[in-house]
Each structure stands twice: as structure tokens, then as C-alpha cells.
Structure 1
């Protein structure tokens, strides 16, 4: 699974590569040329590589609980690896900063509301005043009645991306049962309660959404 991880997000998340490009642009609006960026959930290294290529003077602290995924991040970065310090663990294991920007992509849907608020608050605490924070994850509009429809659409997207139909259905079932998926309104409340301001939706891809907010 680790070996094939880098093949996954570009196929399974609508507009994934464009989302990374937009995230880099949003960070760069306020982060200076030699910025230090915190990347939470950095395993695999796809966002680290995208940001490093977009901004040749930035340095990064990447945090992930999986040692094999951090090893993969180093491989993905290749010659860019010298600009990234990789830390095994969770938000509490991240350096104190202060950072010029931060991201948490495709990660927060793995934790419940209370932990999500705590993580967002800890990220906020590590940022310089006014620094941007970019987050993207599963976030589905409407109430419980609409969720099955959106998850079936996600399954159909996987099948259209080349996933075997039975595996696409299994993925739909796993997402619905195992992930903590909020509505966009609930996600935005968490960012406000964590101390962020000027929260703006910048990305929507079927069952995924992304925001930029400021410390």
C-alpha cells in the first residue's frame, strides 16, 4: 500500500494536482521567499514535492505518524529532500515554529470533531500572525439523507478513474463507515473556533473541499 500510495491521490481525488497548485499559490500570497512551512500529514511527500517545486527557497517541516510513509516522502522528494525536515508523530510532535504557513491535506477526516478542533488550534498556535493555513478533506453538503448519494457519486468517480467496480463500492462503504465527515458549515465552525479568520472555500471536488484561513 505504501509503495503504491503516490499513485492514489491524483486518481482518487478530483482535481488533486490542481488543488496542490492552488494551495501553493494561496500560501505564497503571504509567505515570503524563504518561508518555513508546516505540512501535517506529509507521508508520501506529494504535497511537499509540489510546494518545493513551486517555491525553490521554501523549507518544510513534514509530520506524519507512519515511518514507512515518511520514508516514501523522502524518496518522492528526491534531490529536494534536503529542504524538508521529516518528523514522525502527530501535531504535538511538530516543531513550535513559528511558521509562515501550514497545510493539512486529506488528513482531518480521519479524526473526530473534538480532535479536529484540537489539531487546528495547535496548528494555529504554531503560525505567525496572519499566516495562511490550507486544509482539504472529505466534506459533504446536506444532511444525512444526502450523504449516501454523494458517496455513491464518489464511488462512480473511482470507477471512472479505473478502479475495479467492486473495489470502488468497497471504498464507498469504508469511507462512509470509518471517516469522520462533516458538512462544510461544520468544518468552517471548527476553523473559527480554532482561532482562524477570513476562512474562504477555494476548492470543491465532489465529496472533497478545501479552505484557506489565516492565523
Structure 2
């Protein structure tokens, strides 16, 4: 992992959280409460993939721990098979449980992008993951995904991304905090989530996220999802 010692410490904390048994046990309850339009975002991702991925396609899923997107994609497209990658063994175990009878269609790999099979894949996703890594690592991940995709294969990403103006960024994060409260998150927990996002994650402006995709060799990055401080794009190898 590239980045400063501060960034390394953050990643250590994040990895510890995703390995904590209590956190893992509660994980599947979280995304719908913490990510605006979570289920719709997954459905849209599957639709965007299906525009190019054949009925018997192979899809690479980065940050596959928990298995929620794997299950959604597998249920929507019975012929697809998957390679899911995640650094947390505990989260991959949860993914297997979440998939249930669908598990034989997914090969799960513990690690990072370098531990993903070479492909070539018909499509790839990286949902709610890239905001955990710094800019240099995002560039590297995007390039490594691009290298593993067939020509014109889709890559769908979604993560925290908000305008970086002095007034705009706090406004979007305030709206996100209000969403958490409206979703039933306790006010103290909502405030803590906003502070963690503000102080510990390297959030980029949307234009910067698009530049990373283009520099990695992807074409036509197109915004398809906005949920307050979250945004998602589809781009093509």
C-alpha cells in the first residue's frame, strides 16, 4: 500500500475493523443505513454490467467481503460467474454465508488487486472501497483492473466523492450526516461517521475520480449514481 505513515495507520485501523467478529456479524445491516440508495445502486450496477457482459460472463468484484453485491449480481444473472477479492478473511467467510446456495459460482480470494486472477474478465466492479485508499493506490488499482479486462469491458465504481470547495464539501457531508440520522442511526454515531469521513478518508472531487479512470486507460467515464456524498461511474476498458 502506497502512502504516508498516517495513511498506513488508517488502513491498519480499517483492516482491524473488518476483521473484528462483532463488526463482521453486524456488517450486512450497515450498507443500507449508511449508503443512500444502496439497493438501487447495486441494481443499476448489474444493469450497466449486463449491457456488455455475456450471459455466461466472468466478473471481477473488488472489495467483495460481505457478499452483498455478489449475491445481488448472481441472483440477477444466473449465468454469470465471479472472482471476488477482499483483504479480510472474516469478511470473505461472511460472503460465503451470504451467497448460500449461490456460493459455487464465486471464487473468493483473500488479498488485494495483485491477488486477483489475470482474467481477462468481461466486467469488473469496485463498490464502496476506493475511498479507503490514497490517490496513488487508486491509480494503481484502476490500472491493474484495466489490464485484467477484455476490450470495452465495463468497470463500475462507487465510493465517497464530493466537491472540494470550502463551502461545498462541508455541505455535502452535513447532508450525509442528516441522511444517517433519518435512517435511524443514533445522532452520536452519525456525528462520529461524519468525523471519520472528514478526518480519515481521502475523498476526491468527482473530476479527480474521472481523471484517475481516464489515466488508467478507461474511456467514457459516465456518472450514473449520486447519493449525497457518494457517486458512481461506469467506464470502459
Calculate the TM-score normalised by the size of structure 1: 0.99
Inter-partner Cα distance in structure 2 for 1:15 and 1:151: 16
Structure-1 residue corresponding to 2:199 = 177
* Residue 110 of structure 1, aligned match among 128, 132, 151: 132
* Residue 61 of structure 2, aligned match among 29, 39, 45: 39
Calculate the TM-score normalised by the size of structure 2: 0.90
Kindly state the Cα deviation for residue 87 of structure 1 after the two structures are TM-superposed.
Answer: 0.1
Kindly state the Cα deviation for residue 142 of structure 1 after the two structures are TM-superposed.
Answer: 4.1
Secondary structure of the 2:42 match is helix
Structure-2 residue corresponding to 1:147 = 169
Inter-partner Cα distance in structure 1 for 2:44 and 2:176: 22
Question: 1:143-184 CA deviation, whole Å, 9 max, x = no partner?
Answer: 233212211111111111001001100110011111110000
* Residue 156 of structure 1, aligned match among 159, 165, 178: 178
- Indicate if the aligned counterparts of 2:45 and 2:156 stay in contact, CA closer than 8 A: yes
Kindly state the Cα deviation for residue 74 of structure 1 after the two structures are TM-superposed.
Answer: 0.3
Inter-partner Cα distance in structure 2 for 1:78 and 1:19: 22
1:189 paired with 2:211, answer yes
- Indicate if the aligned counterparts of 2:162 and 2:205 stay in contact, CA closer than 8 A: yes
Most deviating of 38-47 and 7-16: 7-16
1:53 paired with 2:75, answer yes
* Residue 50 of structure 2, aligned match among 25, 28, 36: 28
Structure-2 residue corresponding to 1:211 = 233
- Indicate if the aligned counterparts of 2:123 and 2:153 stay in contact, CA closer than 8 A: yes
Inter-partner Cα distance in structure 2 for 1:77 and 1:48: 7
Inter-partner Cα distance in structure 1 for 2:174 and 2:225: 20
Inter-partner Cα distance in structure 1 for 2:236 and 2:110: 26
User: Following TM superposition, where does structure 1 have runs of at least 4 consecutive aligned residues deviating by more than 2 angstroms?
Assistant: none
Secondary structure of the 1:195 match is coil
Question: 1:119-138 CA deviation, whole Å, 9 max, x = no partner?
Answer: 00000000000000000000
Secondary structure of the 2:25 match is coil
* Residue 97 of structure 1, aligned match among 107, 119, 144: 119
Inter-partner Cα distance in structure 1 for 2:226 and 2:161: 9
Give structure 2 stretches of 5+ with no counterpart.
1-22
Inter-partner Cα distance in structure 2 for 1:133 and 1:118: 15
Aligned residues: 215
Secondary structure of the 1:212 match is strand
Most deviating of 57-66 and 137-146: 137-146
